[in-house]
Amino acid sequence: MAIGVTGTPEKRKSSGSIINDPQVRGIFYQAITIIILAVLVYWTVQNTVENLQRANIASGYGFLNGRAGFDLGQSLIAFTSDSTYGRALVVGFVNTLLVAITGIITATIIGFIVGVGRLSHNWIIAKLSLAYVEVFRNIPPLLVIFFWYSGVLAILPQAREALALPFDIYVSNRGVAFPRAIFGEGSQYTLFALIIAVVASFVFARYARQRQEATGQRLPVLSIVLGLLIGLPLITFLATGAPLTFDIPVAGKFNLTGGSVVGPEFMSLFLALSFYTAAFIAEIVRAGIRGVSKGQTEAAHALGIRPRLTTRLVVVPQAMRIIIPPLTSQYLNLTKNSSLAVAVGYADLVAVGGTILNQTGQAIEVVSIWLIVYLSLSLATSLFMNWYNARMALVER
């Protein structure tokens, strides 16, 4: 009978000794690895606990409820020295998020401009872009941060000789001070109007696209969306009696008081991370565009599509598939590099955690919090980018 020939091959019998059975061997080695790992972990934990007890160091996360006792220079949420250590860590986390998100946005914009610039037919633009990439890519990020920080401190005027710009904006080496908007009674309606306008714009844009695909007619999408986004909130704002005032910075004895201030610490970190990461993104963008076969462009031209539209509709969508995966790791790098904030005194998670570590001596707990937060941040970024990548990926039928 020939049944055995087409079916799965019969399981090979070990020739005699069990030692030569590949399956038994495989299980054996895996078991050994797991046992070694378990022993190592157990031993580490055991030793740590023992040493902490011997050194009379209290352990556990209870210290997070203690009164912090120190103040923080930059905070987006309310924080005083009476707040808890836990809240201080939250302030640090929010500051990390702030610099990471703003940095990612700016780095992406600069990166795309420089990346496309490197492929420009204009000699000066191409060479300037090349110089930009080579300079920023080859300097350690910490030095870039120092460069911006000392640059900001050295070049900008002292606080009491602050440079006055229009709209009550003042620039000094204490940062940029600008009027802070104070929203009065009834401003929530303007916010609702804005949200409605955004939703309506999306719905309209979708309808316009469907209509164009079905009938070939194009609707004036841009002007209608702009009209919605600006007009609707503006009308509501005026109808509710313009409930908006400004807290304007004025010169105090030492600093400008009032208004909002963006400190030089944040500015230098933000600029440094943006410019540094943008150099890598530029190269990724260039690689992505180069990765699209030339035949695609030629085919588009042959169909009579104009160069601008060719880039937007043919090249970029295909390039994105090459760009997104490495772009993700640049975003992760930027987030992780933001921990260099400690060098310029920006109160990010690592800086605040370091202070807490020092005041409480809870080194292992604080380090574990750092690890968990950065790991979660990076994994969240990865998940988002993987989702985006899956959306952009070529759908194979």
Partner 1 sequence: MARRILTALFGAAVMGIGAHAASAATLDDVKAKGFVQCGVNTGLAGFAAPDASGNWSGFDVDYCKAIAAAVFGDATKVKYTPTSAKERFPALQSGEVDVLARNTTWTINRDTALGFNFRPVNYYDGQGFMVRKSLNVKSALELSGAAVCVQTGTTTELNLADYFKTNNLQYNPVVFEKLEEVNAAYDAGRCDVYTTDQSGLYSLRLTLSKPDDHMILPEIISKEPLGPAVRQGDDQWFDIVTWVHYALIQAEDFGVTQANVEEMKKSANPDVQRFLGVEADSKIGTDLGLTNEWAVNIIKAVGNYGEVFDRNIGAGSPLKIERGLNALWSKGGIQYAPPVR
Binding site for partner 1 (CB under 8 A): 43-45, 47-48, 51-52, 54-58, 69-73, 80-81, 150, 153-154, 158-159, 173-174, 252-255, 257, 264-265, 342-345, 347, 351, 354-355, 357-361, 363-364, 367
Residue by residue, DSSP assigns 101-138 as HHHHHHHHHHHHHHHHHHT-SSHHHHHHHHHHHHHHHT
- Name the residue among 165, 169, 160 with its Cα closest to residue 246: 169
Residue by residue, DSSP assigns 31-57 as HHHHHHHHHHHHHHHHHHHHHHHHTT-
- CB closer to partner 1 out of 27 and 163: 163
- CB closer to partner 1 out of 80 and 212: 80
- Asked if 66 contacts 88 with a C-beta cutoff of 8 angstroms, the reply is no
- The tokens describing 360, both together, are 């409480």
- CB closer to partner 1 out of 140 and 184: 140
Work out how close the CB of 22 gets to partner 1 at its nearest, in angstroms, rounded to a whole number.
35
Work out how close the CB of 98 gets to partner 1 at its nearest, in angstroms, rounded to a whole number.
17
Start-to-end C-alpha separation, the chain: 41
Work out how close the CB of 225 gets to partner 1 at its nearest, in angstroms, rounded to a whole number.
42
Work out how close the CB of 146 gets to partner 1 at its nearest, in angstroms, rounded to a whole number.
10
Work out how close the CB of 173 gets to partner 1 at its nearest, in angstroms, rounded to a whole number.
6
- Name the residue among 340, 333, 315, 226 with its Cα closest to residue 279: 333
- CB closer to partner 1 out of 221 and 343: 343
- CB closer to partner 1 out of 49 and 199: 49
- C-alpha 97/C-alpha 349 separation (Å) is 9
- C-alpha 233/C-alpha 146 separation (Å) is 42
- CB closer to partner 1 out of 149 and 237: 149
The DSSP 8-state label assigned to residue 68 in this structure reads -
Work out how close the CB of 372 gets to partner 1 at its nearest, in angstroms, rounded to a whole number.
15
